[in-house]
Chains A and B, each alone.
Chain A
Amino acid sequence: MLEPMGSTSEDRRKDQQDYVLRTVEERGVRLIRLWFTDVQGRHKSVAISPAELEAVLDEGLQFDGSAIDGFSRVQESDVLARPDAATFELLPWADPEEPSGTIFCDITNLDGSPFEGDPRQVLRRNVERARAIGFDMFCAPEVEFFYFADTDTSTAPVPLDRASYFDLTTTDVASDLRKQTLHMLEALSIPVEYSFHEDSPSQHEIDLQYTDALSMADSVMTLRLAVKKIAMDRGVYATFMPKPLNGVQGSGMHTHLSLFQDGQNAFHDPGDPDGLSEVARAFIAGLLHHAREITAVTNQLVNSYKRINEGYEAPRYVSWARNNRSALVRVPVPKPGKVESTRIEYRALDPSCNPYLAFSVMLAAGLRGVEEGLELPPEARVNLYDLSRREQRDLGVDGLPANLSEALDEMEASTLVRDALGDHIFEWFLRNKRAEWNEYQRQVTPFELETYLPNW
């Protein structure tokens, strides 16, 4: 009556494929979308028909990678998209008459080896590396975004709840949108912890329940798509741009992290007065030590630094604290009896990041701290925003990079980031982002026109 144990991973792969094929057949699925992610973190999709599915599950789908950001190489440009059958889902917003399914893919070279330009493979490798020393990382991001009244992105954004005097109606639209989004996310196996209206006009936040890093990165990709898609259907535009409006706080993606070892929370130590283990302290120390190096990856847009520089809930300084929201790493105090939820919160991330790469560099930075037994600097007990630069320096507190250019300089000098991302993505990312920065540097901005034109 109990299934025999010890099925091999090859058996398991076959079972998963059967499951997908049977479900496609039973449910009359017409289209299967193969999903993957480019180096910038943009969602890519190729649709295939059920007739092609079996062969694609077995052998992968060959395509020319040179058109995808970060996939091009000098020699061979063809790669294989290999569906990860465990991620198969029916798309909840598809026409019930024509159901469609989705599967996340790993990208491999034609010989089957992991493709070095695939962010999902990068995270896989970092997760495996952590497992090799006994740790599994769990993540729970808090994703913020804005709804704007118009889907035309060429005009200035108008917050949804300021778009009209009919406040009741627009508030209804936003809460309706959110409710529907949550429903879709649950249907896509993405449980939501909380969802609420944030401080800024038309800003919303969805907190996801923790899961392993790879599944969570997939979930963040799906969430961004679902939020945008459901908004679009209602003629509303949803954006994960970190700082779309002047003068109000931007959108972050504070991410809670914990490590588990043999099923136990490795961040918790019942013997420690603060409940924090040595592993937790060293992991935080690693994150702080490498924070400036990983910022280009966790905050990858020119615009990301407008959010960080504005302050509010965004951390400006490399520091940690228990209850100080100006700190880069916050250590929430777990509720009594809930020691399993001991975790840390990294607050720099913004929702424009590539979650595969961002989780990879955070994991690598933290683990480096654990491996080297780094000592945790003292907790920041004052609001760092209130201190002068000199006082901050006296406390040994560094700032995060002030802009993308500075962040790229830090990244370029980092063997940790190179190692975590692999040469291919590391170099492509730097080239691409330098070009973005240079392009930006040449722009004459509205600020300059408003400030200088009348006076000079």
Chain B
Amino acid sequence: MDTLLVFPDPPPPELAQCLDLGGWVWKSMPNAEAAMAEEPIGGWAGAVVVADTDPEGAFALCRRLRKVEMPLSPLFLLVDSSQLADLELREDLFDDFCLTPFRPNEFQARLEHLCFRTGREVQPELVEYGPLVLNLETYQAAIDGSPLDLTYMEYELLKFLASHPGKVFTRETLLSRVWGYDYYGGARTVDVHVRRLRAKLGEEHAGLIHTVRSVGYRFGQSRWNV
């Protein structure tokens, strides 16, 4: 997954938590120079810029990211309500904005929508988490270097979970995201497949998929102990 640029460095803790729980890969940067120097090979996936504490630094960064040959997009701005007037005549510097203090659900939804709209939800070719590697190009999965023999749905479920480590998904969400229309058995189908996946991951790695009591499932560790 491509990395999101986040400003300032460090970001407000509630933003860091929200990004982690949303399964985003991100890196915070103190200024435009650092952002240019540290730019990943495929470019930044987008930027989340918080302008409420350091408006000058924030808008300077936005300008540097946008007034170049290949402007960075999407750019998501967070401002407090007193700054709304500052947005005037700066429409070209951001793609969407959200007021602080933000509501995590709204933030997630807007950011996802923005990335979807601007086509920046680029799928990586490899998903890696600890000993697990999924090659999305060849549909092959391996753990500790040994290939995993998976059915199509087992592979799709593992791919989805491993692409969003640390995020908790309800059975219903997994069902609609992974199975789509074509499934038997409702939400219980998810349990059945998780059990199969755990069996195939083997005892040592079965714990990669955590059951979150009365919510659903989470892949990998959560930084926030949810």
Q: Is A221 an interface residue (CB 8 A)?
A: no
Whether A1 and B115, one on each chain, are in contact in the complex, defined by CB atoms closer than 8 angstroms, is: yes
Q: Is A260 an interface residue (CB 8 A)?
A: yes
Q: Which residues of B contact A214 (CB under 8 A)?
A: 184
Q: Is A215 an interface residue (CB 8 A)?
A: yes
Whether A191 and B180, one on each chain, are in contact in the complex, defined by CB atoms closer than 8 angstroms, is: no
Q: Which residues of B contact A27 (CB under 8 A)?
A: 140, 147
0/1 string, B18-55, CB within 8 A of A gives 1: 00000110000000000000000000010000000000
Interface residue from A6, A189, A260, A262 paired with B180 (Cβ < 8 Å) = A6
Q: Which residues of B contact A260 (CB under 8 A)?
A: 185-186, 188
Q: A1-B121, A27-B147, A212-B192 are in contact. Are A189 and B200 (CB under 8 A)?
A: yes
Q: Is the interface of A mostly helix, strand, loop or mixed?
A: mixed
0/1 string, A266-283, CB within 8 A of B gives 1: 000000000000000000
Interface residues on chain A, number (Cβ under 8 Å): 43
Whether B180 and A2, one on each chain, are in contact in the complex, defined by CB atoms closer than 8 angstroms, is: no
Q: A85-B152, A87-B151 are in contact. Are A19 and B139 (CB under 8 A)?
A: yes
Whether A189 and B154, one on each chain, are in contact in the complex, defined by CB atoms closer than 8 angstroms, is: yes
Segment among A10-18, A156-164, A241-249, A404-412 that sits at the interface with chain B:
A10-18
Whether B151 and A86, one on each chain, are in contact in the complex, defined by CB atoms closer than 8 angstroms, is: yes
Interface residue from B163, B164, B182 paired with A9 (Cβ < 8 Å) = B182
Residues in B140-199 with C-beta less than 8 Å from chain A: 140, 147, 149, 151-155, 160, 163-164, 171-172, 176-177, 180-182, 184-189, 192, 195-196, 199
Residues in A399-441 with C-beta less than 8 Å from chain B: none
Interface residues on chain B, number (Cβ under 8 Å): 39
Whether A262 and B200, one on each chain, are in contact in the complex, defined by CB atoms closer than 8 angstroms, is: no
Q: Which residues of B contact A92 (CB under 8 A)?
A: 149
Q: Which residues of A contact B196 (CB under 8 A)?
A: 189, 191
9 pairs of A and B residues whose beta carbons are closest in the complex: A263-B187, A212-B185, A212-B184, A263-B186, A186-B199, A90-B149, A19-B152, A211-B192, A136-B185
A contacts, CB < 8 Å to B: 1-9, 12, 15-16, 18-20, 22-23, 26-27, 85-90, 92, 127, 131, 136, 138, 186-187, 189, 191, 209-212, 214-215, 260, 262-263
Besides A2-B112, A89-B151, 17 other A-B contacts (C-beta < 8 A): A1-B1, A2-B177, A3-B177, A5-B176, A9-B181, A12-B180, A19-B139, A86-B153, A87-B151, A89-B149, A131-B184, A186-B199, A187-B200, A189-B200, A215-B184, A260-B186, A263-B187
B contacts, CB < 8 Å to A: 1, 23-24, 45, 112, 115-116, 121, 138-140, 147, 149, 151-155, 160, 163-164, 171-172, 176-177, 180-182, 184-189, 192, 195-196, 199-200
